[in-house]
Amino acid sequence: MEIKTAMAGTLESGDIFIQIAPNDNAGLHIDLDSTVAYQFGDQIKKVITETLQGLGIDQAEVKATDKGALDCTIRARVTAAAVRATGKDVWAD
């Protein structure tokens, strides 16, 4: 799927800032900066990957700056960034 550079989220506590950009190489490359990377880094990357794949995006450069976001917040921010990057909304209307 063709994407352009887009971002969503904030750097406030409990949030995550997601930047998505086109990637010339195959696959998803996730660069994660998180205060809880040691404990939850793998889980955060898993949520990001699953959310993007669920939206049909399997090739992108992702930069994630996490401030202790819950999984539901990560899903929401990744989806928002993906919708902005593809121009394809998830709602019917």
Partner 1 sequence: MQRLRRTMMFVPGNNPGMMADAHIYGPDSIMLDLEDSVTMAEKDAARLLVHNALKTIDYGNTEMVVRINPLSTPYGKKDVEAVVKAGVHVIRMPKTETAEEVVELEQEIIKVETELGCVGRTQIMAAIESTLGALNAYAIATASKRMMGIALGAEDYCANLKAQRTTGDSPFFGMELQMARQCIVTAARAAGIDALDTVFSNLNDMDTFRREVEMIKAMGFDGKSIINPRQIEVVNEIFAPKEKEIEKAKTILAAIKEAEKRGSGVIAVNGKMVDRPVVIRAQRTIDLAIASGIMTKEDLA
46 binds partner 1 (CB under 8 A): no
- CB of 7 closer than 8 Å to CB of 19: yes
Binding segment for partner 1 (CB under 8 A), chosen from 22-30, 38-46, 57-65, 77-85, is 77-85
Report the residue number, 32 or 80, with the smaller CB distance to partner 1: 80
Helical residues (DSSP H) of the chain, grouped into ranges: 37-54, 71-86
8 Å CB contact between 15 and 73: yes
Pick 47 or 60: Cβ nearer partner 1 = 47
β-strand partners of 61: 21, 29
> Exactly one of 5, 29, 70, 87 binds partner 1 (CB under 8 A); which one?
70
Q: Based on the shown chain and the rule CB under 8 A, indicate whether residue 22 belongs to the binding site for partner 1.
A: no
Alpha-carbon dihedral angle through residues 1, 8, 91, 85, given to the nearest 10 degrees: -20
Exactly one of 19, 49, 61, 71 binds partner 1 (CB under 8 A); which one? Answer: 71
3-state secondary structure of 84: helix
Catalog residues that contact partner 1 under the rule CB under 8 A: 8-9, 12-15, 69-73, 75-77, 79-80, 83-84, 89-93
